[in-house]
Structure 1
Amino acid sequence: MPSPNARGFSSPIAINPSSPTASLFSRKKSSTAMSTAASYLSAVSQADARARKLTDTDSTTSTPALSLSSSVTSSSGETVLDESPLDNRDGLTYPKVPPTSEQVFGTVHTEFGHCGNEDHRFTAGFKPGDQWKPVIEQEPPHYILLSTYVSYLLLIVIGHLRDFIGKRLRPSEYKHLMKQDGYMALNSDFDSFYTRRLKLRIDDCFAYPTTGVPGRTILLIDRSSPDYNRTYVPVGTRTRALNISSYNYLGFAQGTGGCADAVEEGIHRYGVATCGARLEGASLDLHTQAEALIARFIGMEDALVSSMGFATNSTIIPALVSKGCLVISDELNHASIRFGVRLSGANVRMFKHNDMGALEQLLREVISQGQPKTHRPWKKILVIVEGLYSMEGTLVNLPAIVELKKKYKFYLFVDEAHSIGALGPNGRGVCDYFNMDPRSIDILMGTFTKSFGAAGGYISANKNIIDRLRTSGHSGAYAEAMSPPVLIQVMASMASIMGISIQQHDKAAAQSQQVIAYPGPTPSTALPPWMPLVPTMIDGSDGKMRLRRLAFNARYLNRALRRLGFITFSHDDSPVVPLLVFNPGKMAVFSRLMRTRATPIVVVVVAYPATPLITSRVRFCLSAAHTKEDVDTLLQACDEVGDLLDLKQGTGERWPLQEIMSRAVEIVNELP
């Protein structure tokens, strides 16, 4: 761990292609600022140390309400995660104004941005009586579509020509695609064509090596390619960049704080290794406690945890449906759902994304016609949707689906991998967002890899279903159990969101657990007695602050991008914001320009086959760890790069960037 540093955040925004390793943070040259910072650095560090002590009730651990902007706040003194000799960056600059004792934050600024401005908060939720408004997908001009198709056509033609000529002039480079000594090639040149001739050209945009905590910022390990993206060589430097690419929605991916303290204590007690398959008698008390806490958090009777999010769907769905059953799936459902349905042997029909009219028409058809050939009634009909679609940023129209469920009597499975923890006034997912009873849904699935900063997934339903899945689901019989540190991270982060009601460990307290209303706080008896509880976890202020910061950031970025003229598909309250670039060449250039700015920004670019061929996009993933100034930095970068690449093809009124930034609070709070 490097020495403490109390420098502030600087955000230069000019594009600087000549400096691919330019630092996100620069040091101020004023000797006065350095002297001032040195004078209060010791006091800040001591105050933060006091805040971390559980027995010190006088220290300030929650973010206070400040009139200052988030760029003029202090740090805990641990503002630089890595200043090794390989990292030639300057770290964080000093804040302009020395903080007072009330402005001390218990977080590392690079992991979770300091923001004491209460105006930069919002509570997201679907208000009773509001009418659901689907996201309108705008179409780009015809010349954008034409140029996109032409781009793919040129890439395909040139790629096949290179394959044809290369096999004859340089056969040694195509050995893996040609017959050798009587053996057929393991890989077909046609099957691998997309990877070799299209993806390889933009491969530097993917799988960028990183180190450290993927929080508000992330540390990139710089690399270069001497052979056109076939291989990469580290150049020996690192770049700290603004991280808009991680699913760290609530910012719980931290190396310090209440959750990290709980995990550290748990490692001392349980170790770090996994503890074997659940059915082999290797379950710990932590598994039972975690499943009970998850069920309470979700608002269901019981829950079952799995050590892998993808496997939660792919191993549980075959235990729910089989031959003679029908699965009705949204056309944009995740690959884990599709894989699980294939394994189940059930019939599957798809409906147009979030189109309730198409879903109802399909329900009428399949119920009236029954099974193919025999026309017997289906054993069961299971409709599977996602709460928040990760590639589109759209929310499911849950009220309408529940009404159809009452009318047509099917079972409903909702995948909340991206919505749990990230949506709703209380962070309980789409049911909380729409103010609906979670028990109106038959099965709720979710993962811990996003909002909770952990790993694995869960299935939550009534006790009869969960008991059945424990024996018939493949994950219970064949998969390893979740490791203790992961379980503790899940429990600590959930407790931080829920808040904790302190109770005595007696029979009356145990009985009272059954009557706590969803989504109320969890009793302390539901947590391990040894788990350290900081004041902000007990009163729930930490979780509430994270939820409100995420809601503000998501709403601000979504609406600001549309006012700048970009085409986006996402709902206003979605922390996943796809910006459509269409052309595959523009997608690569966008990623490179953002990464090589004076303030490097790491983004995710997505193309076929993850999306339709012509809808390549940049997918921004926001976090509660970001400040309003971070979103401003992103908007300014998008504004400049968007003009350069001709990406502003959206309709509607456009605002200048400075007006958007100055009226951010008004934009967030205005009615849709």
Structure 2
Amino acid sequence: MPSPIAFNPSSPSRSMFRKKKSINAMSTAASYLSAVSEADARARIQNGSPTSTPALSLSSSITASSEDTILDESEDNEDGLTYPSVPPTSEQVFTTVHTEFGHCGNEAFRFTSGHPLGEPVKVIHEQDPPYYILLTTYISYILVIVLGHIRDFFGKRLKPNAYKHLMFQDGYAALNSDFDSFYTRRLKLRIDDCFSHPVTGVPGRTIVLLDRASPDYNVTMIPTGTKTRALNISSYNYLGFAQGKGACSDAVEESVNRYGVASCGVRLEAGTLDLHVQAEALVARFLGVEDSLISSMGFATNSTIIPALVNKGCLVISDEFNHASIRFGVRLSGASVRMFKHNNMKSLENLLREVISQGQPKTHRPWKKILVIVEGLYSMEGTFVNLPKVLELKKKYKFYLWVDEAHSIGAIGPHGRGVCDYFGIDPHSVDILMGTFTKSFGAAGGYICGRKDIIDRLRISAHTGSYAESMAPPVLTQVIASMASIMGVTIIQDKPASSSLSLLRSSDASDLTITEPPSTTYPGNAPSTALPSWISLPPTLVDGSEGQMRLRRLAFNARYLNRALRKLGFIIYGHEDSPVIPLLLFHPGKMAVFSRMMRTRAIPIVVVVVAYPATPLVTSRVRFCLSASHTKEDVDTLLRACDEIGDLLDLKQGQGERWPLKDIIDRAVELVNMKEMP
């Protein structure tokens, strides 16, 4: 029988990735899981056990004799979209539907993320494309700008009503001037169908797009009433915890029942709940620091707490590619700011020498304090901060260090503790560790970690505590459950009657080995007393095995895709272990074509294209965001699409040795485990 991963366009077998015109009710999730178990048992008796989730599109080679191994793909599905034909095996942990989290039982498709101790951090040299690529890119921008100004010139005279909102009228100035809005009207509008695409459902392994069309060249978008399920390579769901099914979701549902439905959406002005205290204690233990402060919004964590640390007379030294929330917070603080070249430690040291020797402008008095702000993982570049070198400079020049781990926490490191874990660095050596719960933990909000005296001061002086709303109980529960799943939970022996033993409400609880708390603080398990007594987690989450599985799957997927794209000849930015992988497109017209060709394939793929002002003008890119929910077959599907589209759009301009696509797919494990790329 031909391999089920082969795609046959003439196959009558239906794929889960297709459009439907009507939405009908389906059977319950429990009945679906029951059907999976029964069909899998029959499949293993007859044909043996598959080791991973089936491919996204199945061949038509299934015979009538094996029909009992296929789940019912009736029209009565929950979202009008079909589920896969071949179920995962019962040996695998199966707590969610296939579309949310792909299941892979092959232990070879695992990798542990971490920097080798004692080795220098590899400097990433960004490749430049051939001159003709840059030349045509500049020419395309010039052409679009010139044509845009010509259209504006004649449009204001021939169709004045269409420009009324940009013109001075009735004594009022225009809120948006024609010059300020020129980019969005004449450049971005051309490819606006690639941005802000409405979706529904969970942003897991797949995502459901609400189809739309535009009769006036993207000025207005009209829903067509149909849906398309696509492979999701666009969400920051790094560990796959953004699920509608599973233990974390069950815990969130229980919190809604306990704290009330109103707690999900209203502003909590009453103050602190027990969940806030437990979440902050758990975050501090997860990071291996003394204390933490949580905020209900990630952007506000930077923008409202930076002004509480620095003010006039202080200096902030910022990486040139730092996030907008950092820039906004520095402006609010009133502190002076200087920038250094992205991740360039020589540029940082030269700047430190200059500012320390010169002091404050005009008076030349010493700075009150100097705060260096960097990111652990830069989401547009896919690069890690050279933290070992930054700490060397910190010891030499005595500045304070703020590390933004919005994208690195939970996504890198052997234990998922972020950039300090990745480089094997004591987290106490960093003054402020900031991060968010919106990526790896499938929740919302952010945190600040550090010494207890600093956190105590920030609770009083930071605007996020005085004016922002508290985090809702369901969000806190998601943070606690997902973080505990990564850490593992230690059951305290000397408290056998503790209500925390409700964590083990499972038929398999008796098989779990109960151990003493670890002697080290970082990284360590979460004591059962640190979690709400009513949270019920299965043994795979209590012992941390599922969290480790997610971390290792994410590390494999990230390293595999990064190295595979380089072997195909693409220009890729960033470090090899980064789950964010930018592929350079350069030409603005290629952005739209790449996104549309991905979205309209037989197996639709959703990607994020990024352009100015989020990136420099000539370095437009597509940014792949991988997740632990993706299988190796998902990455193979993406590689096939990139290989075909890359040839059509002339994107393979990278340097180095190239491999055929078939060799890359067949030698994926070898490619990932190579110490250095040949």
What TM-score do the two structures reach when normalised by structure 2? 0.87
User: Could you tell me how far 1:186 is from its partner in structure 2?
Assistant: 1.7
* Residue 526, structure 1, aligned to residue 505, structure 2: no
Match among 393, 396, 399 for residue 404 of structure 1: 393
Specify whether residues 275 and 444 from structure 1 end up closer, same or farther in structure 2 by C-alpha distance, changes over 3 A only.
same
In the alignment, what sits opposite 1:92?
Answer: 83
Letter in 2 for 1:168: R
* Contact 1:177 1:187 survives alignment (8 Å): yes
Specify whether residues 210 and 436 from structure 1 end up closer, same or farther in structure 2 by C-alpha distance, changes over 3 A only.
same
1:389-428 matched pairs, under 5 angstroms = 389-428=378-417
**Distance in 1 between residues matched to 2:467 and 2:664, nearest whole Å:** 53
User: Could you tell me how far 1:270 is from its partner in structure 2?
Assistant: 1.0
**Alignment deviations for residues 543-594 of structure 1 (CA, whole Å, 9 cap, x no partner):** 0000000000000000000000000111100000000000000011000000
**Alignment deviations for residues 419-462 of structure 1 (CA, whole Å, 9 cap, x no partner):** 00000000000000001100000000000000000000000011
User: Could you tell me how far 1:81 is from its partner in structure 2?
Assistant: 13
User: Could you tell me how far 1:335 is from its partner in structure 2?
Assistant: 0.3
SS at match of 1:71: coil
SS at match of 2:547: helix
Match among 305, 309, 322 for residue 333 of structure 1: 322
* Residue 615, structure 1, aligned to residue 607, structure 2: no
In the alignment, what sits opposite 2:675?
Answer: 671
User: Could you tell me how far 1:127 is from its partner in structure 2?
Assistant: 1.5
**Distance in 1 between residues matched to 2:112 and 2:206, nearest whole Å:** 25
Q: Percent identity?
A: 72
* Contact 1:13 1:637 survives alignment (8 Å): no
Specify whether residues 358 and 507 from structure 1 end up closer, same or farther in structure 2 by C-alpha distance, changes over 3 A only.
farther
Match among 208, 220, 228 for residue 231 of structure 1: 220
Letter in 1 for 2:85: Y
Specify whether residues 108 and 324 from structure 1 end up closer, same or farther in structure 2 by C-alpha distance, changes over 3 A only.
same
In the alignment, what sits opposite 1:115?
Answer: 104
Count of aligned residue pairs for this structure pair: 625
Match among 568, 571, 575 for residue 567 of structure 1: 571
RMSD: 2.9
Higher relative contact order (CA 8 A, sep 6+): 1
In the alignment, what sits opposite 1:321?
Answer: 310
* Contact 2:53 2:88 survives alignment (8 Å): no
In the alignment, what sits opposite 1:25?
Answer: 17
In the alignment, what sits opposite 2:247?
Answer: 258
1:443-522 matched pairs, under 5 angstroms = 443-503=432-492, 516-522=520-526
Specify whether residues 664 and 194 from structure 1 end up closer, same or farther in structure 2 by C-alpha distance, changes over 3 A only.
same
SS at match of 1:517: coil
Specify whether residues 100 and 463 from structure 1 end up closer, same or farther in structure 2 by C-alpha distance, changes over 3 A only.
closer
* Contact 1:274 1:481 survives alignment (8 Å): no
In the alignment, what sits opposite 1:34?
Answer: none
* Contact 1:329 1:351 survives alignment (8 Å): yes
* Contact 1:271 1:484 survives alignment (8 Å): no
* Residue 594, structure 1, aligned to residue 598, structure 2: yes
* Contact 2:55 2:633 survives alignment (8 Å): no
Specify whether residues 349 and 84 from structure 1 end up closer, same or farther in structure 2 by C-alpha distance, changes over 3 A only.
same
Identify the range of structure 1 (546-555 vs 173-182) with the bigger mean alpha-carbon deviation: 173-182
Identify the range of structure 1 (458-467 vs 99-108) with the bigger mean alpha-carbon deviation: 99-108
Letter in 1 for 2:83: L
Specify whether residues 460 and 429 from structure 1 end up closer, same or farther in structure 2 by C-alpha distance, changes over 3 A only.
same
In the alignment, what sits opposite 1:210?
Answer: 199
**Distance in 1 between residues matched to 2:567 and 2:196, nearest whole Å:** 32
Specify whether residues 342 and 161 from structure 1 end up closer, same or farther in structure 2 by C-alpha distance, changes over 3 A only.
same
**Distance in 2 between residues matched to 1:282 and 1:408, nearest whole Å:** 40
In the alignment, what sits opposite 2:51?
Answer: 68
**Distance in 1 between residues matched to 2:226 and 2:602, nearest whole Å:** 16
SS at match of 2:567: helix
User: Could you tell me how far 1:9 is from its partner in structure 2?
Assistant: 8.3
**Distance in 1 between residues matched to 2:72 and 2:541, nearest whole Å:** 23
* Contact 1:77 1:108 survives alignment (8 Å): no
In the alignment, what sits opposite 2:295?
Answer: 306
**Alignment deviations for residues 68-125 of structure 1 (CA, whole Å, 9 cap, x no partner):** 3442899x999999966984x5x13422xx7654346222110000110000000010
In the alignment, what sits opposite 1:645?
Answer: 649
**Distance in 2 between residues matched to 1:494 and 1:604, nearest whole Å:** 27
SS at match of 2:91: helix
In the alignment, what sits opposite 2:63?
Answer: none
User: Could you tell me how far 1:515 is from its partner in structure 2?
Assistant: 5.4
What TM-score do the two structures reach when normalised by structure 1? 0.88
Identify the range of structure 1 (101-110 vs 256-265) with the bigger mean alpha-carbon deviation: 101-110
Specify whether residues 151 and 23 from structure 1 end up closer, same or farther in structure 2 by C-alpha distance, changes over 3 A only.
farther
**Distance in 1 between residues matched to 2:354 and 2:172, nearest whole Å:** 50
**Distance in 1 between residues matched to 2:629 and 2:554, nearest whole Å:** 8
Specify whether residues 195 and 446 from structure 1 end up closer, same or farther in structure 2 by C-alpha distance, changes over 3 A only.
same
* Contact 2:71 2:85 survives alignment (8 Å): no
* Residue 44, structure 1, aligned to residue 36, structure 2: yes
**Distance in 2 between residues matched to 1:81 and 1:435, nearest whole Å:** 51
Unpaired segments ≥5 residues, structure 2? 20-30, 41-47, 59-68, 501-515
**Alignment deviations for residues 30-79 of structure 1 (CA, whole Å, 9 cap, x no partner):** xxxxxxxxx9984635799xxxxxxxxxxxxxxxx9873442899x9999
* Contact 1:276 1:480 survives alignment (8 Å): no
**Distance in 2 between residues matched to 1:403 and 1:421, nearest whole Å:** 25
Specify whether residues 82 and 505 from structure 1 end up closer, same or farther in structure 2 by C-alpha distance, changes over 3 A only.
farther
**Distance in 1 between residues matched to 2:202 and 2:401, nearest whole Å:** 37
Specify whether residues 334 and 665 from structure 1 end up closer, same or farther in structure 2 by C-alpha distance, changes over 3 A only.
same
* Contact 1:307 1:481 survives alignment (8 Å): yes
**Alignment deviations for residues 600-656 of structure 1 (CA, whole Å, 9 cap, x no partner):** 000000000000000000000000000000000000000000000000010111111
* Residue 654, structure 1, aligned to residue 637, structure 2: no
